[in-house]
Amino acid sequence: MITEHHITVPRTARYVMLGQPGAHIKRLWYVLHGYGQLAERFIREFERLDDGATLVVAPEALSRSYLRGGSGTIGASWMTREDRLNEISDYLRYLTLLHAQLLQQLPSQPAITLLGFSQGAATAGRWLASGAVAAHNLILCGGLLPPEITPEQLGQTTITVVVGKEDQLVDRQALQQQRDALQSAGKPLRVVEFEGGHRVSLEGVC
Protein backbone atom coordinates (compact mmCIF):
# COMPACT_ATOMS: atom_id res chain seq x y z
CA MET A 1 0.00 0.00 0.00
CA ILE A 2 1.34 3.43 -0.96
CA THR A 3 0.73 6.26 1.51
CA GLU A 4 1.81 9.89 1.33
CA HIS A 5 3.63 11.64 4.17
CA HIS A 6 5.32 14.98 4.78
CA ILE A 7 8.27 16.22 6.82
CA THR A 8 9.22 19.83 7.48
CA VAL A 9 12.89 20.54 6.82
CA PRO A 10 15.06 23.66 7.18
CA ARG A 11 16.27 25.13 3.92
CA THR A 12 18.03 28.22 2.58
CA ALA A 13 16.04 30.93 0.79
CA ARG A 14 17.49 33.79 -1.24
CA TYR A 15 16.44 37.44 -1.41
CA VAL A 16 17.98 40.61 -2.81
CA MET A 17 17.64 44.24 -1.72
CA LEU A 18 17.88 47.77 -3.04
CA GLY A 19 19.11 49.88 -0.15
CA GLN A 20 20.20 48.84 3.32
CA PRO A 21 18.14 48.56 6.53
CA GLY A 22 18.58 51.33 9.10
CA ALA A 23 17.00 54.29 10.85
CA HIS A 24 16.85 56.20 7.54
CA ILE A 25 14.27 53.82 6.05
CA LYS A 26 10.75 55.26 5.90
CA ARG A 27 9.24 52.94 3.29
CA LEU A 28 9.57 49.19 2.84
CA TRP A 29 8.57 47.52 -0.43
CA TYR A 30 8.35 43.76 -0.89
CA VAL A 31 8.31 42.91 -4.59
CA LEU A 32 7.34 39.34 -5.49
CA HIS A 33 8.34 38.09 -8.93
CA GLY A 34 6.28 36.09 -11.39
CA TYR A 35 6.61 32.52 -12.62
CA GLY A 36 10.00 31.64 -14.08
CA GLN A 37 11.77 34.77 -12.85
CA LEU A 38 14.65 35.30 -10.42
CA ALA A 39 14.82 37.98 -7.74
CA GLU A 40 18.10 39.56 -8.86
CA ARG A 41 16.75 40.34 -12.33
CA PHE A 42 13.27 41.24 -11.13
CA ILE A 43 14.40 43.85 -8.61
CA ARG A 44 15.95 45.91 -11.42
CA GLU A 45 12.41 46.95 -12.35
CA PHE A 46 12.34 48.98 -9.14
CA GLU A 47 15.63 50.89 -9.21
CA ARG A 48 13.71 54.16 -9.44
CA LEU A 49 12.49 53.57 -5.86
CA ASP A 50 16.04 53.55 -4.46
CA ASP A 51 15.93 57.08 -3.02
CA GLY A 52 17.80 56.53 0.25
CA ALA A 53 14.63 56.29 2.34
CA THR A 54 13.05 53.26 0.65
CA LEU A 55 14.15 49.68 1.13
CA VAL A 56 13.11 47.33 -1.68
CA VAL A 57 13.23 43.62 -0.91
CA ALA A 58 12.76 40.92 -3.55
CA PRO A 59 12.32 37.46 -2.03
CA GLU A 60 12.99 34.62 -4.45
CA ALA A 61 10.53 31.74 -4.67
CA LEU A 62 11.69 28.45 -3.21
CA SER A 63 11.32 26.24 -6.27
CA ARG A 64 13.85 26.70 -9.09
CA SER A 65 14.03 24.82 -12.34
CA TYR A 66 15.40 25.01 -15.88
CA LEU A 67 12.80 26.72 -18.02
CA ARG A 68 13.65 24.90 -21.25
CA GLY A 69 14.60 21.27 -20.94
CA GLY A 70 17.47 20.32 -18.67
CA SER A 71 19.76 23.32 -19.13
CA GLY A 72 19.89 27.01 -19.96
CA THR A 73 17.75 29.70 -18.35
CA ILE A 74 16.72 29.11 -14.74
CA GLY A 75 13.62 30.54 -13.10
CA ALA A 76 11.73 30.14 -9.85
CA SER A 77 8.08 29.58 -9.02
CA TRP A 78 6.06 30.10 -5.87
CA MET A 79 3.92 27.00 -6.26
CA THR A 80 2.33 24.50 -8.60
CA ARG A 81 -0.87 22.52 -8.26
CA GLU A 82 1.17 19.57 -6.90
CA ASP A 83 1.03 19.49 -3.09
CA ARG A 84 -0.42 22.98 -3.40
CA LEU A 85 -1.44 23.69 0.21
CA ASN A 86 1.94 22.72 1.61
CA GLU A 87 3.74 24.88 -0.94
CA ILE A 88 1.56 27.84 0.06
CA SER A 89 2.24 27.16 3.73
CA ASP A 90 5.99 26.96 3.06
CA TYR A 91 6.23 30.26 1.22
CA LEU A 92 4.05 32.07 3.75
CA ARG A 93 6.30 30.83 6.55
CA TYR A 94 9.37 31.94 4.58
CA LEU A 95 8.04 35.43 3.83
CA THR A 96 6.91 35.95 7.42
CA LEU A 97 10.28 34.89 8.82
CA LEU A 98 12.06 37.25 6.41
CA HIS A 99 9.75 40.12 7.41
CA ALA A 100 10.36 39.55 11.12
CA GLN A 101 14.12 39.52 10.54
CA LEU A 102 14.03 42.78 8.58
CA LEU A 103 11.85 44.57 11.12
CA GLN A 104 14.50 43.90 13.75
CA GLN A 105 16.88 45.98 11.63
CA LEU A 106 14.48 48.91 11.24
CA PRO A 107 14.26 51.10 14.37
CA SER A 108 11.02 52.77 13.27
CA GLN A 109 7.97 51.19 11.64
CA PRO A 110 8.08 51.90 7.88
CA ALA A 111 5.13 52.25 5.54
CA ILE A 112 4.88 48.82 3.89
CA THR A 113 3.90 48.12 0.28
CA LEU A 114 3.47 44.63 -1.14
CA LEU A 115 3.77 44.31 -4.91
CA GLY A 116 3.25 41.04 -6.71
CA PHE A 117 3.66 40.45 -10.42
CA SER A 118 1.73 37.68 -12.21
CA GLN A 119 2.07 34.54 -10.04
CA GLY A 120 3.57 36.77 -7.37
CA ALA A 121 0.29 38.71 -7.18
CA ALA A 122 -1.51 35.71 -5.70
CA THR A 123 1.45 35.14 -3.39
CA ALA A 124 1.33 38.73 -2.14
CA GLY A 125 -2.45 38.52 -1.67
CA ARG A 126 -2.21 35.34 0.39
CA TRP A 127 0.57 36.78 2.52
CA LEU A 128 -1.49 39.87 3.30
CA ALA A 129 -4.58 37.77 4.02
CA SER A 130 -2.60 35.60 6.45
CA GLY A 131 -2.33 38.57 8.79
CA ALA A 132 1.44 38.18 9.12
CA VAL A 133 2.30 41.51 7.48
CA ALA A 134 0.55 44.84 8.04
CA ALA A 135 0.81 46.50 4.64
CA HIS A 136 -0.44 49.94 3.76
CA ASN A 137 -0.65 49.09 0.05
CA LEU A 138 -1.10 45.96 -2.04
CA ILE A 139 -0.24 46.37 -5.72
CA LEU A 140 -1.15 43.52 -8.07
CA CYS A 141 0.64 43.79 -11.42
CA GLY A 142 -0.64 41.53 -14.17
CA GLY A 143 -2.49 39.38 -11.64
CA LEU A 144 -5.46 39.20 -9.28
CA LEU A 145 -6.27 38.22 -5.74
CA PRO A 146 -6.66 34.46 -5.20
CA PRO A 147 -10.37 33.55 -5.21
CA GLU A 148 -10.33 32.18 -1.65
CA ILE A 149 -9.47 35.56 -0.10
CA THR A 150 -12.34 37.49 1.49
CA PRO A 151 -12.58 41.30 1.78
CA GLU A 152 -12.38 41.00 5.58
CA GLN A 153 -8.90 39.48 5.31
CA LEU A 154 -7.58 42.58 3.55
CA GLY A 155 -8.07 44.93 6.50
CA GLN A 156 -7.46 48.59 5.76
CA THR A 157 -4.90 47.95 3.02
CA THR A 158 -5.31 49.94 -0.19
CA ILE A 159 -5.65 47.55 -3.15
CA THR A 160 -4.52 48.47 -6.67
CA VAL A 161 -4.48 46.31 -9.80
CA VAL A 162 -2.07 47.45 -12.51
CA VAL A 163 -2.72 45.84 -15.88
CA GLY A 164 -1.50 46.40 -19.42
CA LYS A 165 -4.15 47.11 -22.03
CA GLU A 166 -2.66 44.34 -24.17
CA ASP A 167 -2.21 41.87 -21.31
CA GLN A 168 -3.90 38.65 -22.44
CA LEU A 169 -3.14 36.79 -19.20
CA VAL A 170 -5.43 38.82 -16.95
CA ASP A 171 -9.07 37.70 -17.04
CA ARG A 172 -11.03 40.95 -17.35
CA GLN A 173 -14.26 39.30 -16.25
CA ALA A 174 -12.61 37.96 -13.10
CA LEU A 175 -11.10 41.39 -12.47
CA GLN A 176 -14.52 43.03 -12.69
CA GLN A 177 -16.02 40.39 -10.39
CA GLN A 178 -13.32 41.03 -7.80
CA ARG A 179 -13.82 44.76 -8.11
CA ASP A 180 -17.58 44.42 -7.63
CA ALA A 181 -17.21 42.07 -4.64
CA LEU A 182 -14.76 44.35 -2.88
CA GLN A 183 -16.85 47.42 -3.66
CA SER A 184 -19.92 45.72 -2.16
CA ALA A 185 -17.92 45.05 1.00
CA GLY A 186 -16.88 48.70 1.22
CA LYS A 187 -13.38 47.90 0.03
CA PRO A 188 -12.63 49.78 -3.18
CA LEU A 189 -10.22 48.26 -5.68
CA ARG A 190 -8.43 50.73 -7.92
CA VAL A 191 -7.51 49.65 -11.45
CA VAL A 192 -4.65 51.35 -13.30
CA GLU A 193 -4.20 50.55 -16.99
CA PHE A 194 -1.10 51.26 -19.04
CA GLU A 195 -0.06 50.84 -22.65
CA GLY A 196 1.61 47.44 -22.95
CA GLY A 197 1.31 43.77 -22.19
CA HIS A 198 2.17 41.38 -19.36
CA ARG A 199 4.89 43.27 -17.51
CA VAL A 200 5.56 45.36 -14.42
CA SER A 201 4.55 49.00 -14.53
CA LEU A 202 4.72 51.58 -11.74
CA GLU A 203 2.59 54.07 -13.64
CA GLY A 204 0.02 55.63 -11.36
CA VAL A 205 1.20 53.86 -8.20
CA CYS A 206 4.31 55.78 -7.16
Instruction: Answer whether residue 125 is part of any domain.
Output: yes
Determine, yes or no, domain membership for 10. no
pLDDT-above-90 percentage for the chain: 90
Judge whether 1 lies within some domain: no
What pLDDT is stored for residue 54 in this prediction? 97
| Overall domain count for the chain | 1
Q: Is residue 200 part of a domain?
A: no
pLDDT at 24: 94
Rounded to whole angstroms, the Cα distance separating 85 from 146 reads 13
**CA distance readout (Å), 53 to 18, 19, 22:** 11, 8, 9
Give per-residue pLDDT as tens, 174-204.
999 999 999 999 998 999 999 999 999 998 8
* Residues of the chain falling short of pLDDT 50: none
Range of the domain at 72: 15-194
Domain assignment present for 175:
yes
Q: What is the pLDDT of residue 192?
A: 96
Task: Judge residue 104's burial from the number of C-beta atoms within 10 Å of its C-beta, 0-12 exposed, 13-18 middle, 19 or more buried.
Answer: exposed
Q: Which residues contact 7 (CB under 8 A, 6 or more apart)?
A: none
CATH value at residue 44: 3.40.50.1820
